Amino acid sequence: MVLVAGTGMTAFNRRKDGSGFRDWAAQAFHSALASADVDRGDIDALVVASESDFFSLQLNPSSVLADDFGLAGAACQRVEGGGASGQLAVHAGASLVLSGVAHRVAVVGFEPSASFLEPASVISLYGYSFDAWTDGMIDVSATALYALSARAFMERTGATVSDFAAVAVQNRENARGNPDAHLPLDIAEEDVFASPIVSEPYRRLDCSPLSDGAAAIILGTRDAVPASRHSAPWIAGIGAANDRVRLGDRSDPGYFGAKKSAAKRAYAMAGVSRPQSQIEIAEVYDPYSGAQLQAIEVLGFSEGFLAEHRRREFGPAGRLPVNTSGGLLGQGAPVGATGIAQVIACARQMEGCYHDSLQLATPPRIAVADTHGGVGTTCAVTVLKAGAA
């Protein structure tokens, strides 16, 4: 059993105070240590998630952060998988614990996506996270590729721009109750439609912001953490899968098939045979509004996902709340920290200690955190279960 013994994160926003990723990572790490009630000397391994060296200008950040954290002698490694970096780092940390290689692992993710480079430079660099030859070097943007995928999804399922706008509105509304969120907004669907087109069907308010920030968790076996944390949520299942990088090489560019495979693997490991009735809350990867619906389709949450979305069953008062944190659209998107922050939101909901206005009345027992890199290309899914005293 791999307990999520401690959690810590910074606010996700655009930093203008002169601080850097090392400051944010240290803040998140020390908050997670305090939450887990352990000392830094108790940590045997550090797993660091960061998508791009261009944003931080720091090769080998795991060694630098281990030094900053005072973890001399601990094993350290970096995990990178595009947008899936944070979730894959959680998987790497859980694997270290499950294998017995480590007993207490710190998983820390960060990204200075907003403050270090000009937005145009960041957008260009993100193009290189797809196929650099066919996409990045000819300035095909991430938004354009997601838009192509969204169009195929709309044609197959009947989803509309109103469905997408409802996601953008709901997640920004959730973010209003999250003091760590980058983009809490009181908007209506009309505001989404009035925002400038970026790449049809996506408008500006359909897109997540560039964010700075860090997130950290402490993983450990029940015997390796204090008794006060024995009832913490635990990671019951992990699964990952990859799809063809170029959308044109897929049979359906609007279908996230690798995410479906990753989820099936995570569900099998966790003993979840009926995800549509067993899963009670989820944090899914929503860099664009339509991507949230594309994720819900394949994660097995519903047999009629579009009808349920239109009935607001994935809203905070619905059958299966999705992205109560605000998701990437509302909470923000410092890439290396994103997947870890998803696990934090799920774990805190399960412990009944999430943000007051967002905490579910009945803490969920089974949760899913889902992230991907590319356009549903490198997919990683984690299943958490509530602990028992």
Domain-by-domain residue ranges, the chain?
2-117+210-229
Q: How far apart are CA 290 and CA 256, in angstroms?
A: 12
Q: Is 76 left (phi over 0), alpha (psi -120 to 50) or beta?
A: beta
CATH number at 2-117+210-229: 3.40.47.10
Q: What is the pLDDT of residue 389?
A: 47
- In a 3-state reduction of DSSP, which class is residue 234? strand
Least confident of 36-40, 140-144, 328-332, 335-339: 140-144
Could you tell me which residue, 118 or 219, shows the higher pLDDT?
219
294 pLDDT above the threshold of 50: yes
The pTM of this model reads 0.97
Is 330 in contact with 181 (CB distance < 8 Å)? Answer: yes
**Cα 238 to Cα 155, 262, 365, distances in angstroms:** 32, 8, 17
CA dihedral sign of residues 118, 47, 89, 137: positive
* Number of helices and strands in the chain (H, E): 14, 11
Q: What is the pLDDT of residue 133?
A: 87
Q: Six-digit token pair at 374?
A: 């590319």
Could you tell me which residue, 136 or 72, shows the higher pLDDT?
72
Q: What is the pLDDT of residue 117?
A: 82
Q: What is the pLDDT of residue 385?
A: 98
Q: How far apart are CA 245 and CA 247, in angstroms?
A: 6
Residue 75 host element (H or E):
strand 75-79
Mean pLDDT across the stretch 229-245?
Answer: 97
